[in-house]
Amino acid sequence: MAVGKRVGAGLTPENVALPGLDFKIAFILSYEGDPLAELAYVDKTGAPVLFCIIANKGADAPAQTQTREALSLASWSHNGRGYLVIGGQPKQQVAEFARTLETRF
């Protein structure tokens, strides 16, 4: 995926696939001058899930989960990139999506 090149992550259909989610689109944005990849999915009910990758040269940090309003978030940093999974699903489910992706990136 060309989006992966912009954030320095080897994104392939296989390594971005998540169980129970349908991949819909990937696009590149910018946040405070850093490239930001957004990958969008939907679950079987049509509820969205986003997987975000920012090439921010940040320090490695273990996965953390939190809830903001009605959204569940799981984030971590590795090899100069920050990762975030966000969705309206239960916190445990979003954390499982993040664990799956964390093993790949």
The predicted structure's pLDDT at residue 1: 62
The domain total for the chain is: 1
Nearest CA to 20 among 41, 36, 39?
41
Measure CA of the first residue to CA of the last residue in the chain; give whole Å: 15
Q: What is the pLDDT of residues 8-47, one digit of tens each?
A: 888 899 999 999 999 999 999 999 989 999 999 999 999 9
Question: Given a cut of 90, is residue 56 above it in pLDDT?
Answer: no
User: Domain containing 92 — which CATH number?
Assistant: 3.30.200.100
Most confident of 29-38, 54-63, 84-93: 84-93
Boundaries of domain holding 62: 2-102
Residues whose CB is less than 8 angstroms from the CB of residue 3 and which lie 6 or more positions away in sequence, other chains included: 11, 26, 27, 28, 37, 39
* Mean pLDDT score of the chain: 93
